[in-house]
Structures are given as structure tokens and as C-alpha cells.
Amino acid sequence: MLSILLPEGVGETELRTLIQEAECICRQLNIEILGGHTEVTKAVNQPVVTATGIGKTKKNEIIKTSGAKPGQEIVMTKWAGIEGTAILAKAKEQELLAKYPAGFIDGAKRMLDFISVVPEAKIARTVGVSSMHDVTEGGIFGALWEIGAASRAGMEVDLQKIQLKQETVEICEFFDLNPYMLISGGCLLIVTDHGNLLVDSLKEAGIPAAVIGRIKEGNDRIIINGEERRYLEPPKADELYKVMCK
């Protein structure tokens, strides 16, 4: 179900393009748009789309965030900061062009092409996993905390294993942001007994992945960076808002 709010001045052509793009994605995922609501309103200054997804599965096949168990490995797909990097590249393009070439900015905007986590989730199910959690607001640090809190478990994570694209590194340095706390739609955290097997399976499908840590007994959630060890903190406001809300 799609609810679409459009600002005044948006024409039928733009709406038709938006619906065609949605239908294209639905065909790829074998799902169907059942209906919804479309409205032109003064309440928004850019298109706002809200999607409500409905699906069915067997109760014993549901994989929850809360399923992580001590001894299991944490696998991360793709890169931290995917979505935030693309948003900043598009919204702050003129500022960034003062330092970076247009090709670099275009590459950052194209990171939205990696926003779906459906392919890696399908592969993960075949390998066998106990927990999956998509990384959204709060970034990779926020998502790790949420897995630990939901599973009532601790963890140790190697910061140097968390993958970053160079575009993310550069743009976060430009705006003085922490890339590990930047919205990361397109990145999936998976907890499994078979970390290396899962990573190999994902890489065979062309999906970058790495084992970044392990679930532990207790409640301590530790980030390791070389000789430094520090405690992971509960999620805070996403780094994106430091720039977008100015």
C-alpha cells in the first residue's frame, strides 16, 4: 500500500514516473501494489511516499533481531553509511563540488543503487542465521546496539573490519560526521554460526561482506580498534541531521 503526498506544482508526468519506478521494483521482488492514496498538499515541499508492506510466513521461520546467541559471528554486508552518503551527495552537491570533482559526487549519489538488502537476506536464509537487522538511522553502531539489546547479549566488534566506501570517508570528513553513526540503508547485519561460509556465499553473488565481530555472554558491547577498547553506547540522533537540519 502506497501513500503519496506531492507538493503543489508537481505534474502528472512526475507522478507517473514515480509509480512506474515503484512497479518496476515490485516486479523484481514478486510483490504487488494493492492500492493506497495520492494527494497534492501544501504540507510538503517534496514528494513523500509511505509504504506499508504486508506478507505471510510460517511463525517458526521468522528471523528476528532478538535471535543472536553467544558464540555466533556477526556478518556485515556492503558498507556503512551507504544511504547517508548518497543523501548528502545529492542534497549538498554544490558545497561538495567546491572540493571534489563532479564524477566523485556522482559516484556517491549512485550508492543508492545498493539500497536493497533483499538479495543478501535470501542468501543468508539458505546458510542458516539466527538474527538479521537492517542498518538504518543511527548507523552501524546503532544497529549493533539494537541487536545486543534485543538479544540481551554482549558483543565484541573489530572497527577495522567495518567496511567503508571512500566516498563515505571523504564526505564524512568534509562535514565532520562519524560514518559509523550515519544512516546506512542497504547494509545488513547478520548473526550466524557460519560466518565465513556466509561471507563466501555472499561474495559469490557479488555482494561485499565481512565477519566484523562475535556475540558474547553478558551485556558488555565492545568496539575494538587496534589496542583501544571502548564501550558501545545506546543509539543517538543520526549524524545526518547535523547537516540536513541546519
Per-residue pLDDT for 93 more than 70?
A: yes
Are 103 and 193 part of one and the same domain? yes
- Among 51-60, 183-192, 216-225, the range scoring the smallest mean pLDDT is 51-60
Helix H or strand E encompassing 24: helix 12-29
What's the length of the chain?
Answer: 246
Structure confidence at residue 219 (pLDDT): 92
- Please indicate, yes or no, if residue 139 is contained in any of the structural domains: yes
CATH code, 25:
3.30.1330.10
Q: What is the pLDDT confidence band of residue 50, given thresholds at 50, 70 and 90?
A: very high
77-101 mean pLDDT: 96
Are 127 and 240 part of one and the same domain? yes
Decide if 155 contacts 90 (C-beta within 8 A).
no
- At 212 the three-state DSSP class reads strand
Are 35 and 142 part of one and the same domain? no
Decide if 136 contacts 238 (C-beta within 8 A).
no
**Range(s) of the domain holding residue 7:** 2-51
CATH code, 99:
3.90.650.10
Are 116 and 207 part of one and the same domain? yes
Are 228 and 111 part of one and the same domain? yes
CA atoms within 13 A on the CB side of 136: 5
Are 85 and 44 part of one and the same domain? no
Structure confidence at residue 82 (pLDDT): 96
Alpha carbon separation from 216 to 69, 123, 147, 178, 213 (Å, rounded): 8, 25, 12, 25, 10
- Please indicate, yes or no, if residue 57 is contained in any of the structural domains: no
Q: What is the pLDDT confidence band of residue 246, given thresholds at 50, 70 and 90?
A: low
- Among 34-38, 166-170, 207-211, the range scoring the smallest mean pLDDT is 34-38
Are 78 and 38 part of one and the same domain? no
Are 80 and 109 part of one and the same domain? yes
- At 96 the three-state DSSP class reads helix
Structure confidence at residue 245 (pLDDT): 75
Structure confidence at residue 55 (pLDDT): 87
- Please indicate, yes or no, if residue 239 is contained in any of the structural domains: yes
SS3 per residue for 166-198 = HHHHHHHHHHCCCHHHCCCCCEEEEEECCHHHH
pLDDT averaged over the chain? 94
Are 46 and 77 part of one and the same domain? no
Are 183 and 209 part of one and the same domain? yes
Per-residue pLDDT for 44 more than 80?
A: yes
Are 209 and 236 part of one and the same domain? yes
Structure confidence at residue 56 (pLDDT): 87
Are 37 and 91 part of one and the same domain? no
- Please indicate, yes or no, if residue 56 is contained in any of the structural domains: no
Name the domain count of the chain.
2
